[in-house]
Chains A and B, each alone.
Chain A
Amino acid sequence: MRSQTKLVDMLTKIETGKIMEEKDFDKLITTTVKDVLKKYQISYNKEDAINMDDDLADRLFQGGLEVAERVGIYCKSTHRQITYTRDEILEGLKWAPDSVEYGRSLDKVTVHTRRPEDTTPVVNFCSPFGTPLDENIYSKVMESYAQSPYVDIIYGGCYHKIHGFAPKTHSPWEVLATWREIEDMKSATRRANRPGLGIGTDANSVSEIGTLTCTSYDGFAKNDVHLACFISELKTDYTQLMRVAHTIKSDAVLHGFYNAIYGGMAGGAEGLALISTAGEILLSVIYMTTTNSMSPAHPFFNSNTAPEMVWAISAAQQALNRNTHILTTVMTSPSGGPATECLLYECATMATATTVSGTSRIDGVRSAVGVELNHCSGLEAQFNAECARAATGMTRKTANELIKNFQKEYVPFLGTNPIGKPFTEVYNLDTLKPTEEWKGMYDKVKSNLTSMGMVFE
């Protein structure tokens, strides 16, 4: 791919950048973010649920460029700061892809660049991201996602245990887990009669070992989604860089993600928006990614649906989608779990906020913040997709008022650990249909959203 010609240049910078202590890099982030926020007059407007100000979005993009140029990223393996000039950054963004195809045959889908308030439908990358699953129900859980026609691509959860053992990072158990993932994911798509459905690779691979394993003989396909990330904040290491090098040399599709921490080195909502914008720019340029995701985390709730974070994500998405053609994505990471209304209102908020802000693809749902055993189901992923479709072409003004109402329904529950129920209690394992309780809750919330003004297909 023409955007990926700079691999050796990037790896050279990794070995020759300025030697720096990690704590000094952290301080550089804090001081630069404060300085740039002031220079570009970027501030959080808590009266709005999402950003409504195009000029602020454009200033945020310019601020993001400046942070990207002045801070760059830090490599923990070589203890070096990696910087790019403004020209190098703009050149990298210029060659970034503006579309990508996933899947095969009748299940092929294309992700396109979108702008705020775009009428092009968002693509749905559905997964319980990180949620631990019991080995004996893994494939059925994933089938519950694949069987929904609203789902465009799927990505697995994580095995709680494999052959009775925890799949420890960088161990032979990680290899076994990723091989089992291939079997379970492919059988899930076949049973759902969607053998061509695009799949995300190596959900069970924290180290490069799993990635290399599951993309070897008879593993995942080139145009399945391969992943690499920045470590918070704005850091990388050899594990991530091996993934990037392997994916690029394999001519495969690379999805980058960077999840900044709200209240962390960049501070509050405006700092989060700024560092998320800078991070996506740097992912696109340095990792030469195909798609770029942000899903910041709250330090106390672990989710990304607190009002300050929704505003920050919307502002960063608008900054990127008004000023570049890079393919942006956002993962819905709610506090609520299956069989809670909280989860559904959080999905409605995030899907609406990101769709009207120009996101190309929505990812998730990482129910109950992806840490509770078996706490996920295909129904919330379908619901997330349905809300995104309902918000396609909507104005930000309309979305802003809707989201304020959605937030009244879930914000009071964010600190209450509303994890809901596990898959085995919200789906019938024989029919793979949601239970009456869960389906009834879904119907009720959908009806409430309709009365608030959402128009579902």
Chain B
Amino acid sequence: MEQFIKELLVAVEEGDIEGAVKSALDAVEKSNVDPLDYFENCLAPAMNELGDQFSRMEIFLPDLMVAGEIADAIREELVKKLDSVQDSNKGKIVIGTISGDNHDIGKKMVATMLGVNGYEIIDLGTDVDPMDFINTAKKEKADIIAMSSLLSTSMPFISETIEYLVAMGLKDSVKVVVGGGPISADWAQEVGADGYGHDAKQAVDMVNALLS
């Protein structure tokens, strides 16, 4: 399996999506690696390694985005090889930057890291109305609503979203996680969020724990 991990990391470095998919298919078709075994013991550790490299700023967002594209492409191909249809996604997350805030890059880093780690991401972008988060989560049967705010003047919209979820009787059907510069773990707890991530790496650990 080490050889396949190595090939995958080289493909990410070179931005070679086709090469990565070919390596994965070769593993399954020529070396008789079980697709689920490939997911668990090649794709997941390789993506974890890339996430760690990003958290040390040894690779950057464009590299991580390529890794995300490669992981999606491999998943798409290998799911076809499974004996029965199985959902390889770890969960569905609706993510966005809340109303009044157009900061995008930090949220994009979190979304990409979550995608790389096996979650299905629905990115609503920036300046997202609370009801858009809620309606999308309902429609998509999402496991998590993830909201970001880099502005203290937008934080009230996050607490309002949680208030709306409670008032609509939806709070128990979806977890709410939050993050962004002015947000603290204490504030997240105070407004009733289920989780808080200080940065992209911590966000993945927190979501893994919430959905485990």
Residues in A lying within 8 Å of B, measured CB to CB: 22, 30, 76, 130, 132, 158, 160, 166-170, 174, 204, 206-207, 231-233, 235, 237, 261-265, 267-268, 271, 299-300, 302, 308, 369-371
Q: What is B's interface to A at a CB cutoff of 8 Å?
A: 54-55, 57, 60-62, 99-106, 109, 125-126, 151-157, 181-182, 199-201
- B105 pairs with A232, CB closer than 8 A: yes
* B61 & A158 in contact (Cβ 8 Å cutoff): no
- Is there contact, CB below 8 Å, between A371 and B152? yes
Which chain A positions have C-beta within 8 A of B99? 169
In the assembled complex, the CB of A367 is this many whole angstroms from the nearest CB of chain B, namely 14
Knowing A231-B103, A263-B60, A264-B60 are in contact, say whether A166-B155 is a contact too (CB < 8 A). yes
Could you say which residues of chain A place their CB within 8 Å of the CB of B126? 76
The 3 A-B residue pairs whose C-beta atoms are closest, nearest first, are A169-B100, A371-B182, A166-B156
A sample of 16 more A-B contacts (CB under 8 A), given A22-B125, A267-B60, A299-B109, is A76-B126, A132-B182, A167-B153, A168-B153, A168-B154, A169-B153, A204-B153, A261-B61, A261-B106, A264-B109, A299-B57, A299-B105, A299-B199, A299-B200, A300-B55, A300-B201
Which residue of A has the minimal Cβ distance to B102?
A231
- Do A206 and B199 have beta carbons less than 8 Å apart? no
Contact of A206 with B156 at beta-carbon distance under 8 Å, contacts A261-B106, A264-B60 already known = no
- A263 and B100 in contact, given A30-B62, A158-B153, A167-B153 (Cβ under 8 angstroms): no
18 contacts between A and B (CB under 8 A): A22-B125, A130-B152, A158-B152, A160-B152, A166-B155, A167-B153, A168-B156, A169-B153, A206-B151, A207-B100, A231-B103, A232-B105, A263-B57, A265-B61, A271-B60, A299-B57, A302-B181, A369-B181
Number of A-B contacts (CB under 8 A): 85
**A44 CB → nearest B CB, Å:** 12
- Known contacts A206-B151, A261-B106, A371-B181: does B157 contact A168 (CB below 8 Å)? yes
CB distance from B71 to the nearest CB of A (A): 17
The answer to whether B152 touches A170, judged by C-beta atoms less than 8 angstroms apart, is no
Which residues of chain B are near A262, meaning CB under 8 Å?
57
The answer to whether B152 and A132 have CB atoms under 8 Å apart is: yes
Query: Considering the chains assembled together, what is the distance between the CA atoms of A370 and B57 in angstroms?
Result: 23
User: Are the CB atoms of A169 and B101 closer together than 8 Å?
Assistant: yes
Complex interface: chain B residues within 8 A of A132 (CB): 152, 182
Closest to A271 in B: B60
Taking CB as reference atom, which chain A residue is nearest B159?
A166
Q: Which residue of A lies closest to B109 (CB)?
A: A299
Q: Which B residues touch A207, using CB under 8 A?
A: 100
- List B contacts of A370 (CB < 8 A): 181
Please report the C-alpha to C-alpha distance between residue A206 and residue B60 in the assembled complex, in whole angstroms: 29
Given A267-B62, A371-B182, A76:B102 Cβ within 8 A: yes
**List of A residues within 8 angstroms of B102 by Cβ:** 76, 231, 235, 237
Residue of chain A at shortest CB distance from B199 = A300
A310: min CB distance to chain B, Å? 14
B9 shortest CB reach to chain A, Å = 18
Q: Quote the shortest CB–CB distance from B208 to chain A (angstroms).
A: 19
A299/B151 in contact, CB under 8 A: no
Closest B residue, CB atoms, query A306:
B57
Q: Report whether B55 and A169 are in contact in the complex, using a CB–CB cutoff of 8 Å.
A: no
Q: A168-B157, A206-B153, A268-B57 are in contact. Are A233 and B105 (CB under 8 A)?
A: yes
Minimum distance in angstroms from A148 CB to a CB of chain B: 26
Q: In the complex, what's the smallest C-beta–C-beta distance from A292 to chain B, in angstroms? A: 20
Q: Please pick, from B101, B104, B151, B181, the residue contacting A232 in the complex, using a CB distance under 8 A.
A: B104
- Which residues on the B side are within 8 Å of A237 (C-beta)? 102
Do B61 and A232 have beta carbons less than 8 Å apart? Answer: no
A270 → chain B closest CB, angstroms:
11
User: Complex: how many Å from CA A299 to CA B112?
Assistant: 13
Tell me if A206 and B182 are in contact (CB < 8 A).
Answer: no
- Report Cα–Cα, A30/B69, bound state, in Å: 15
**Assuming the A-B contacts A207-B100, A267-B62, are A169 and B105 also in contact, with contact meaning beta carbons closer than 8 angstroms in the complex?**
no
From B62, B153, B155, A265 is in contact (CB under 8 Å) with B62
Q: How far is the CB of A313 from chain B (nearest CB, A)?
A: 16
Please give the distance in Å from B160's CB to the nearest CB on chain A: 9
CA distance A354 to B210 in the complex (A): 44
Q: In the complex, A267 Cα to B200 Cα: how many Å? A: 16
If A233-B105, A263-B57, A299-B106 touch, whether A168 touches B62 (CB-CB below 8 Å) is no
B153 touches A174 (CB 8 A): yes
A204 CA to B57 CA, complexed, in Å: 33
* CB-based contact A264/B105 at 8 Å: yes
Contacts of A268 in B (CB 8 A): 57, 60
For A371, what are the chain B residues with a Cβ–Cβ distance below 8 Å? 152, 181-182
Measured in the bound complex, the distance between the Cα atoms of B97 and A235 in whole Å is 16
Name the residue of chain B whose CB is nearest to the CB of A30.
B62
- A206-B105 in contact (CB<8A): no
Least CB distance from B179 to A in Å reads: 12
Cα of A225 to Cα of B102 in the assembled complex, Å: 22
Q: Is A170 within 8 A of B60, CB to CB? A: no
Q: Which residues of B contact A264 (CB under 8 A)?
A: 60-61, 105, 109
For B62, list chain A residues within 8 Å (CB). Answer: 30, 265, 267
Q: Closest residue of chain A to B181, judged by CB?
A: A371
A105 to B18, CA, bound (A): 68
> When chains A and B are docked, how far (Å) is the Cα of A450 from the Cα of B207?
48
Cβ-neighbour of B105 out of A22, A160, A265 (below 8 A): A265
Interchain CA distance A233-B102 in the complex, whole Å: 11
* Shortest distance from the beta carbon of B117 to any chain A beta carbon, whole Å: 17
Q: How far is the CB of B99 from chain A (nearest CB, A)?
A: 7
Contact of A168 among B100, B104, B182 (CB under 8 A): B100
Which A residues touch B61, using CB under 8 A?
Answer: 261, 263-265, 267
Give the CA-CA distance A152 to B113 in the complex, in Å.
43
A233 proximity list for chain B (CB < 8 A):
105
Q: Closest CB of chain B to A119's CB: distance in Å?
A: 36
Q: How far is the CA of A377 from the CA of B37 in the complex (A)?
A: 56
CB nearest to B180 among chain A residues: A371
Write out the residue numbers on chain A whose beta carbons fall within 8 Å of the beta carbon of B151: 169, 206
